[in-house]
Amino acid sequence: MRAHLVVLGTQWGDEGKGKVVHLLGKRADWIVRYQGGNNAGHTVVFDGRFFILHLIPSGILLPGKRCVIGNGVVVDPEALREEVRFLEARGIRLRGRLYVSLAAHVILPYHRWIDQIQERTGVHLGTTQKGIGPAYADKVARIGIRVADYLEPTLFQRLLHNNLRDKYPMLKGLGSLSGMEKKIFRAYPGLRRFLSSCAADTTALLQRADRRGERILFESAQGALLDVDHGTYPFVTSSNPGAAAASVGTGVAPQRIAEVLGVVKAFTTRVGTGPFPTQMPDPLASYIREKGKEYGATTGRPRRIGWLDLVVVQSAVATNGIRRLALTKLDVLSGIHPLKMCVAYRHRGKLLKRFPASRTVQQELEPVYEHCPGFAESIRQVRRWRELPEAARRFVDRIERHTGVPVTLVSMGRSREETLVRTTGFQWL
């Protein structure tokens, strides 16, 4: 039997996972999302066209590949239907290729309403206000509504009524309880028909695929430092993007996942609020943002820009058992002298080589930088390691030295073709 691969981000998301999954997906039989919701945004260039995907794995663009939205994902039926329509309008055939777990929890309009209210009146976390956090909160509180429940009209009506009644004190400024129920039920018949066409026992599908020796590629949303357990809490997502969640979020046994590939951007970005030790000031931040098109794929918000933080990457490597790295956007650093990478922090006279748990300390960290020579040449067309400028090769070598894992792929653009394969022996290439 073949072992399977997890692809995850090693920073605060937006590392370029969509392109990497699209590239490696050609060797997969199944591509699976195991956590998160439509707060994620993966931009992929395929056949010269741009696709922004939120819930559906980017492997759907590869003909014949089967894609799964696992039980660990929270699914907004309206958002998923719009994404399917977007892809079908562009000639991507989905029938018989996309499966949604019956055990996945659904995001309903009241989750979005609560998210928006909490962002306005509570602690400003910089969420996408898509309802992801409130849906996961309901799941943990055991009052959530799963896809299987959503497809049973009588059961769904009862669960919806109970949840709206309990949440009404927070929502009463938006109208009457009966009015909210009617609004949700107006869209329900069409959404139920749509969701029933792709809902399945995906755990059984993937376990059968595993027994048949078929290859499964697991795709995370967000990045390791947004993990609700191992990230910069409370400025995190509401799920676990880490590799261990691939098993929990799909039902595939953990020992069947033999390879973890981490995706790292050549600099660091972050959307929303929260600690960011290596954040750089303008005008350099604006230059990199515009050159790298660093705007959120889901919200369009400008990303905060910082130097590469190898303490963050090392943490992701250790926590997730990452054995290889894919480096993205190295081309964006062309023309910048010198380049910096953070290798430790200082806090009140102490040297720290791990990211601290204390939210107070996180806000007070002073990065310790290594300076690297920059390179002036354009590298977008480079496909061989020896053709990279020496300074660019040294930059990559330093990443390997500090993280202890090899950089297998170097990406210099959004399309699959703009990729340099550095090492051999990786069975997914």
Catalytic residues: 14, 42
Instruction: Report the distance separating Cα 47 and Cα 61, nearest Å.
Output: 10
CB contact at 8 A, 60 and 98: yes
Q: At what angle do helices 177-196 and 77-89 cross, to 10 degrees?
A: 40
Instruction: Report the distance separating Cα 8 and Cα 10, nearest Å.
Output: 7
Cis peptide upstream of residue 57 (ω within 30 degrees of 0): no
Helices (H), 241-372: 245-248, 284-292, 310-320, 359-364
Exposure letters 15-53 (e unless 16+ CB within 10 A, then b):
bbbbbbbbbbbeebbbbbbbbbbbbbbbbbbbeeeebeb
Block residue for tokens 């480096």: 327
CB contact at 8 A, 378 and 387: no
What are the two backbone dihedrals, phi and then psi, of residue 344, each rounded to the nearest 5 degrees?
-170, 175
CB contact at 8 A, 345 and 426: no
| Token duo for residue 322 | 């990452």
CB contact at 8 A, 377 and 337: no
